[in-house]
Structure 1
Amino acid sequence: MSPLRIATRRSPLALTQAEFIARALGERYPDIDIELLPIRTTGDRLLDAPLARFGGKGLFIKELEQALLDGRADLAVHSMKDVPVELPAGLALPVITARADPHDALVSKRFDSLRALPPKARIGTSSLRRRCQLAAHRPDLTIDVLRGGIDTRIKRLAAGDFDAIVLAVAGLERGGYEKHISEILPESIMLPAAGQGALGIECRADDARIRELIAPLACPDSTRCVEAERAFGRLLDGGCQMPIAAFATLRNGGLALRALVASLDGRRVLRTEIEGGIDDPRGLGTKAAQAMLDQGAQAILDEVRSELEGQVLADAPSPPSDPSSLGLRRSDS
């Protein structure tokens, strides 16, 4: 029998996550050889600017998906917060695993909380979602772009480039960096990204064997919550790392979804919270998105897109010869 090949990014965290899935499959199927196929993605190469300028989160998985489509890999492991809401034709995402802690964390060498940061303190993040919520809560802070792996970001913090940085709790814990957490940020300050804390397993849609093999790794409750969150982003066209957040939880036998849309400067923040049945998570997410549109979310998102497009033009005197290489023609962007 041919080995089971798992496509993954080359980053230490991505490899750790892929190895976690490989071990889980290996325990269930000891007779199947499992191999990792590490791939360097476009997102890993663009380290000097916010990803939203170049096509957003899809830049982290485009090459992995191509490996699935051309048969080099049988499945790919992703952080669900990095997966665009629309998948390429021929691919499916049949498994979402049990969710780890979905919150964001403040990491600092000198300060134990966001409140303790002094005015003008420099805080680093690569996420527009985090940027807008930080700006809304602490407009006195200086928020700068920080990209790279967890180890790279922590090294820059240690070097004094930043007073604090914000990272996902799940990534810190999976990577063995939990000792660096200064404060887990409450949802009232930092609402998580759709899918944050969960892993997704992508494969070819018509590969019945692989779908059957990976099916036992799915968590029904996490799947429902993440589906609601992603449906929120789908209606708002929020697949390109836009400043939106969505977080669903189980409540009273159903689902509760909290979501927000904000301007980049944090001066305008729209929020909604709705509840619905557990059997229609996508309907709940769509309902929440419509509530945002009714509040005027489209104008904010259009303004953000215009600003990001202007930054792309300002940063790149000559456009790339192949825009698709930067993910600019994905259906989700």
Structure 2
Amino acid sequence: MSNIIRIGTRKSALALIQTHLIADGLKRAWPDIEVELVTKETLGDKILDKPLQEFGGKGVFVSEFEQAMKEGAIDLAVHSAKDLPMELGEGLVIAAVSGRGDPRDVLVTMKGSPKDREHIVIGTSSPRRQLEAVEYRGQLWPGAASLTCATLRGNVHTRLRKLEEGLYDGIILAAAGLERLDLLGNPSYDFKYLDPTVFIPAGGQGIMAVEAREGSDAARLCQAIDSREGRLCLTLERMVLKLLDAGCHEPIGIYSNIMDGKMEVWGISRPDRVTRRISLEGAVTEKELEALALQAGRGLM
């Protein structure tokens, strides 16, 4: 096999940082390999004036890389796990899963901006974040009499720039992305961390996933950097999302954590205009994982 591993990645600063983290892990495990990054601009990166649910859903960040793997142009692709569609391309697998970064969402506001406004506009295009922002308005923004959400797309720096331009009172971003971009210490902003057992994250939030052709040499190399805990959590969360037939159109949050040998799971959804929440606990075994996912899925239907 070639000692050059070609890894596909989006061009954003966050995507490149995450890909370098995976590449560094591979090089530590296999010092003789060389890594080549292949950047692509996906449909999701090009169309920023519409919510994802209007033009293809999560697959808009992934399909170009899947096609490139099938054609042999790249060996691996690194994704934020929450961006993966429920069904991968034929013959492709999640070859490695990272350990989970900070799973929380963060409310970002401008430093020193007034917090006593009666009507608040939050920037987010995520149906899940929109649901939770309204559902937990009092915790998100104490004192606000009303809160609405407005469309916000683009990479992290683009979203922050729109906040600076005064288009929103606050925006909601993933803590893991802000941390990887080294933005959490930026003195221009105030950061309010949201409890992931209340303001429940997207399935896979904080986790990086490496996609590869099933049975390929590159997929086998990835076994050395696979996180057992990260994979267990991602597997359960994706099981639940699949049971709910969830894409990016539905307001669904699902978050799991392994604590003291137990798998803890929290979820939120809003089918038929009724908000449903679950909080479950089970053993960390393959059989129990499936049973827990089924119980969670039923509770959120």
Does the alignment reach a TM-score above 0.5? yes
Matched-pair identity in %? 37
Structure 1 position 44, deviation (Å): 0.7
| Aligned counterpart in structure 2 of residue 228 of structure 1, from 225, 236, 249 | 236
Uncovered stretches (5+) of structure 1, i.e. residues with no partner: 294-333
**Correspondence for 1:154:** 160
Does the CA contact (< 8 Å) of 2:184 and 2:191 recur in 1? no
Q: How has the CA–CA distance of structure 1 residues 134 and 127 changed in structure 2, closer, same or farther, with 3 Å as cutoff? A: same
Residues 1-333 of structure 1: pairs in structure 2 closer than 5 A: 1-110=2-111, 116=115, 118-138=117-137, 140-179=146-185, 180-207=189-216, 209-262=217-270, 268-280=274-286, 281-293=289-301
d(CA) in 1 for partners of 2:228, 2:112: 39
Aligned 8 A contact 1:10 1:38 in 2: yes
CA deviation string 1:272-322 (max 9, x = no partner): 1222221132332122102222xxxxxxxxxxxxxxxxxxxxxxxxxxxxx
Which amino acid letter does the alignment assign opposite residue 124 of structure 2? T
- In structure 2, C-alpha distance between the alignment counterparts of 1:182 and 1:78, rounded to whole Å: 25
State how many pairs are aligned. 288
CA 1:6 to 1:246, structure 2 compared with 1: closer, same or farther past 3 Å? same
C-alpha spacing 1:181/1:247, structure 2 compared with 1 (3 Å): farther
Greater mean alpha carbon deviation, residues 193-202 or residues 134-143: 134-143
DSSP 3-state at the match of 1:76: strand
TM norm structure 2: 0.90
Contact 1:96 1:199 in 2 (8 A): yes
Query: Which whole-Å deviations, capped at 9, do the CAs of 1:190-238 have from their partners, x for residues lacking one?
Result: 101100000001100121x212211121111121111111111001001
Structure 2: distance between partners of 1:206 and 1:29: 18
Q: Contact (CA 8 Å) 1:57, 1:241: kept in 2 or not?
A: no
8 Å CA contact 2:197–2:266 kept in 1: the answer is no
1:117 is displaced (CA, Å) by 5.7
Cα distance between partner residues in 1 of 2:9 and 2:68: 10
Indicate the SS of the match to 1:259. strand
Task: For residue 57 of structure 1, report the CA deviation from its aligned partner.
Answer: 1.3
Structure whose residues are more often strand by fraction: 2
**Which one-letter code corresponds to 2:36 in the other structure?**
E
Bigger Cα displacement from structure 2, 184-193 vs 42-51: 184-193
Contact 2:59 2:84 in 1 (8 A): yes
Change (3 A) 1:117 1:38: farther
* Pairwise CA distance, 1:52: 1.4
Q: Which amino acid is 1:54 matched to? A: F
Q: What is the CA distance between 1:67 and its match in structure 2?
A: 0.9
Per the TM alignment, residue 22 of structure 1 is displaced from its structure 2 partner at its CA by: 1.1
Provide the C-alpha distance between the structure 1 equivalents of 2:125 and 2:136, rounded to a whole number of angstroms. 17
In structure 2, the partner of 1:317 is none
Q: Deviations over 1:114-160 (max 9, x none)?
A: xx462222210121110111011228112101101111111111111
CA root-mean-square deviation: 1.9
